[in-house]
Structure 1
Amino acid sequence: MTERLVVIGGDAAGMTAASQARRRRPAEDLEIVAFERGRHTSFSACGIPYWIGGTVSGPEALIARTADEHRARGIDLRLGTEVTEIDPDRGRVRSRGADGREEWTSYDHLVIGTGAVPIRPPIPGIDAPGVYGVQTLDDGEAALAALDRGDVRRAVVVGGGYIGVEMAEAMLLHGLEVTLVDRNDQPMNTLDPDMGRLVRKEMEQLGVRIASGAAVREVLTGPDGRARAVVTDEAEHPADIVVLGLGVRPNTELARAAGLPLGAYGGLLTDRAMRVRGTDRVWAGGDCVEVLNLVSRTEQHVPLGTHANKQGRIIGTNIGGGYATFPGIVGTAVSKVCAVEIARTGLKESQARAAGLRFVTATVESTSRAGYYPDAGLMTVKAIAERNSGRLLGLQIVGREGAAKRVDIGAVALTAGMTVEQMVDLDLGYAPPFSPVWDPVLVAARKVADAVAADRRAG
């Protein structure tokens, strides 16, 4: 008897799950129906800031697999069709097409891949023309159309996280005067404040004006109804274009209405096989779920395409008759603004405290290559280790070319549960064009290992 898999959401998690399930089970054994309310499928949202900035082409270049390619593989993909209700008791979903017609579709397996939605605070003017989010390809097209008007000179970016700093770069590349408004004291709140200050210094040197500790109260509009300024408690910042980079939240209203379990961040809770807890045939992955942080052992919402694709593959494998699990994450992320690279993995200090961990830290300055080799770039590396045990808890890096991807050393060490003493002895690749004799990450590990040893002697 043929089973039916229904997928809600046509991006990374949902379509990876559908594609993997199809590889393992033929159409006569498993019918696959996928609903996507937008016009595009399987696209890289992470690439949108670089498309807007002109570094990469798009939108076609950002689409990993088109709707027609999915259909050619035996997936009934329905674009412009929104799922409006999940009925887990009867095993069915209700959808509404572009023509307004509604219908119920039954399922034997359901994959929820509804992603996340941008945070838009309820302030006056936030929805005015000239205010842009950066979540979909349609968002990117709208922002580019505004920039191509020719009368845009000043940009205000609201939010200093990953999207905020990336969009600040995109606006700089368009030759605009850029102001970044952030309610936090430093940009990149995913870093500790001392490392965030380094990012701020670098961005200011690039010409970005940063208004920190400033919550947005209103977006003012002109006689034409378009945004003309962003107002905070302290100042009014003129703008010809406003870009929102305030982060995202899990898109789980459908799941909430269906009574499915949500976590503290509003994301769906799953087991390690990515099956929604308390259900037998409902699965979820991507930006709409919460995941286990292997360092703090707490659930977190970490919206990244890397996790979404892995989780989709795991779901498809399990529906396809195999067995796979998602062990969790360590919180690795990298970004850049022009030539400045930013990276972190594991916990920052406030997260370690919240987890009840006692720790020591060390911060070092080094270079990406041997000091005598041309174009060696400076970088700052901060390591956090647990007191007594010496277990690595986190690593943060701010620097120039060759800095960001070094954080992967820390990601592997965190996943393996290594101590900083063990890290010091890692056999990393060395040649003057690539690294000093002591790689900057190992220098930081050695220094924090000394702090651990001193703490043990004192205790």
Structure 2
Amino acid sequence: MVVIGGDAAGMSAASQARRLRGPDELEIVAFERGTFTSYSACGIPYWVGGEVDGPDALVARTPDEHRSRGIDVRTRTEVTEIDLEGRRVRFRGVGDRPAGPGRWTGYDDLVLATGARPLRPALPGIDAPGVHGVQSLDDGQALFDALEGYGVTPRRAVVVGAGYIGIEMAEALLNRGCAVTVLERGPQPMPTLDPSMGALVRDAMSGMGIETVTGTEVTRIVTGEDGRVCAVATGEREYPADVVVLGLGVRPETSLAEAAGLPLGASGGLLTDPSMRVRGHEHVWAGGDCVEVLDLVSGRPRHVALGTHANKHGRTIGVNIGGGRLTFPGVVGTAVSKVCDLEIARTGLLEDEAEAAGFRFAVVTAESTSRAGYFPGARPMTVRMLAERGTGRLLGVQIVGREGAGKRVDVAAVALMAGMTVQQMTVLDLGYAPPFSPVWDPVQVAARKAVAALESAD
């Protein structure tokens, strides 16, 4: 078993296969370009911001720990070619000088867990010192070291992109004492929300002291006489910057797969069957951020780069290679994040996604509180809900609020997985006590409003 990629999907697959088959039955080799394995990239903003320790604290299992369990992990090693017909891969050490052709090793089963690559547009100055991505722990270490070593106070930071990584990094930089500007080309931050919900996030960020500029396109990174970044330019103006963080999203890293002729979807992600076997290739498997998965609400394939799914993909692959039988059914698109004390969550479809999928639907927005209104600490919460006309089936939920808001999305995620209607959601037996919820949970308040909207339409 040869694994390409040593993080969530790859090492979950390797570890699960090892549990089921011993070293005498199955040899496992894992190639990783970086120096870390099995780490939480999601924790990087909180490490940079000083809330958690890193990088070691973000590593679930080190290369040596994997090796002690009978997995031959080879870090700082990259695979450069896949030979499907010969069932072998070519590899070489990262940074080898001179860069030779490398060596070949064969496989019975190949696991592609190559992850995703951050978007890095070809802008003038994009590679200047002081411009950072945050895809890996090595990236996080570089940014952390730069902030620790920089002598200007206060530092001026510009974050390009206001998706999940962008807003989390804005909080991290704010916590480090930086004056923070976030630049987003869309109409509102958080393009994974409907614009009206994104507007709530923008207002909250402005209230936190984060300058949030939307509807603007970065044209170049401005550098000073020393070659370091000194500003970020848009079509309208320049924003001074001592450090720039890119949070423009990611795309599947499937260059190896594409060169080998493996099937890719519209997003560039690998196409697999429910067992996570690459379509049309019996001995090739793929999981994590490099694949497309089935959206259980729309019925269409989509690319979702989340560690939760990557670990499940890896477990599925490992069970199947190990001799068992397991499938991964798909996703409903659940995600949660925060910027300072504002919690942001979504699951299911947005309005434009529901329209593109051909649904007829009602959409409602409900205001509620995190606790009983009279209980100390109750905070406002906004819930937006989509429901299908005719069937009443839940299609999507978005939540923006303070403490206690974000994880309420899990109720909606379970309802989506179960194919529940909004009417059924109104009678869910959810936990209640004044410190935790109003008598009607905010998600159920929105469900009742959705039922009324569907009835009035009829």
Query: TM tier, shorter chain?
Result: over 0.9
**CA distance in 2 between partners of 1:21 and 1:317 (Å):** 6
How far 1:150 sits from its partner (Å)?
2.4
Q: Which residue of 2 aligns with 1:384?
A: 386
What is the one-letter code of the residue matched to 1:96? R
C-alpha distance in 1 between matches for 2:151 and 2:202: 29
1:222 equivalent in alignment to 2:218: no
Q: Aligned residue for 1:397?
A: 399
Point out where structure 2 has 5 or more consecutive residues left out of the alignment. none
2:342 is the counterpart of 1:346: no
Q: Do residues 335 (structure 1) and 331 (structure 2) align?
A: no
Distance 1:204 1:386 in 2: 35
Q: Give the distance between the partners of 1:386 and 1:247, measured in 2 at CA.
A: 30
Write the mapping of 1:261-272 to structure 2, written as runs, cut at 5 A.
261-272=263-274
Q: Is the 8 A contact 1:388 1:455 kept in 2?
A: no
- The answer to whether structure 1 residue 58 and structure 2 residue 50 are counterparts is no
Instruction: Give the residue type in structure 2 aligned to 1:150.
Output: G
| Counterpart Cα distance in 2 of 1:62 and 1:394 | 32
Q: Distance in 2 between matches of 1:126 and 1:296?
A: 37
Shift of 1:239: 0.5
Residue of structure 1 in register with 2:455 after alignment: 453
Distance in 1 separating the partners of 2:29 and 2:93: 14
Q: 2:25 aligns with which of 19, 24, 29?
A: 29
Do the aligned partners of 1:32 and 1:76 also contact (CA within 8 Å) in 2?
Answer: yes
Q: Distance in 2 between matches of 1:150 and 1:335?
A: 31
Structure 1 letter corresponding to 2:132: Y
Match of 2:248 among 230, 238, 246: 246
**1:199 counterpart letter in structure 2:** V
Counterpart of 1:285 (choices 259, 283, 287) is 287
Structure 1 portions without partners, runs of 5+: none
* Distance across 1 between alignment mates of 2:181 and 2:237: 12
* Alpha-carbon separation, structure 1, partners of 2:290 and 2:300: 17
Amino acid at match of 1:59: P
Aligned-pair RMSD on alpha carbons? Answer: 0.7
Alpha-carbon distance in 1 for matches of 2:32, 2:427: 49
Q: State the AA in 2 paired with 1:191.
A: L
Aligned to 2:51, the other structure's residue is in SS state coil
- AA at the equivalent of 2:110: L
Which residue matches 2:302? 300
Alignment correspondent of 1:425: 427
Does the Cα contact within 8 Å between 1:17 and 1:313 map onto a contact in 2?
A: yes
Distance in 1 (CA, whole Å) between partners of 2:16 and 2:230 is: 47
Q: Which amino acid aligns with 2:128?
A: A
Cα offset for 1:234?
1.5
- 1:377-423 CA deviation, whole Å, 9 max, x = no partner? 11100110011111100000000000000000110000000000000
**AA aligned opposite 2:171:** E
Q: C-alpha distance in 2, partners of 1:450/1:176?
A: 47
CA contact 1:35–1:77 (8 Å) conserved in 2: yes
SS in 2 for 1:362: strand
Who is 2:138 aligned against? Answer: 138
Q: How does 1:156-175 map to 2 (within 5 A)?
A: 156-175=158-177
CA distance in 1, matches of 2:123, 2:299: 36
Q: SS where residue 31 of structure 1 aligns?
A: coil
- The answer for the alignment partner of 2:107 in structure 1 is 107
CA–CA separation in structure 2 for the residues paired with 1:37 and 1:335: 28
Counterparts of 2:319 and 2:437, CA distance in 1: 40
Per the TM alignment, residue 97 of structure 1 is displaced from its structure 2 partner at its CA by 1.7
Greater shift in the superposed pair: 138-147 or 325-334: 138-147
Residue 382 of structure 1 aligns to a residue whose secondary structure is strand
Give me the TM-score of the superposition, normalised by structure 1: 0.98
Equivalent-residue separation in structure 2 for 1:121 and 1:87 (angstroms): 31
What do the CA deviations read for 1:167-193 (whole angstroms, capped 9, x no partner)? 000011011111000000100000000
**Aligned match of 1:10:** 6
- Of residues 57, 71, 76, the one that matches 1:75 is 71
1:20 maps to 2:16: yes
1:356 maps onto 2:358 in alignment = yes
Whole-angstrom CA distance in 2 between matches of 1:397 and 1:234: 33
Instruction: Name the CA distance, whole Å, in 2 between partners of 1:234 and 1:448.
Output: 42
Question: What is the percentage of aligned positions where both structures have the same residue?
Answer: 68
Residue aligned with 2:28, SS: strand
Q: Matches of 2:355 and 2:187 in 1, distance apart?
A: 19
Q: Following the alignment from structure 1 to structure 2, what is the Cα–Cα distance between the partners of residues 130 and 423?
A: 49
Aligned equivalents of 1:384 and 1:365: distance in 2? 15
Asked if 2 retains the 8 angstrom alpha-carbon contact of 1:10 and 1:113, the reply is yes
| TM-score (normalizing by structure 2) | 0.98
Aligned residue pairs, count: 452
C-alpha separation between the residues in 2 aligned to 1:409 and 1:165? 24
**Conserved 8 A contact 1:377-1:399:** yes
1:276 CA drift (Å): 0.2
Match of 1:91 among 65, 74, 87: 87
Give the letter for the 1:249 counterpart. Answer: R
Cα deviation digits, residues 285-330 of structure 1 (max 9, x gap)? 0000000000011111100000000000000000000000000000
- Matched AA of 1:15: M
Q: How far apart are 1:358 and its partner, in Å?
A: 1.0
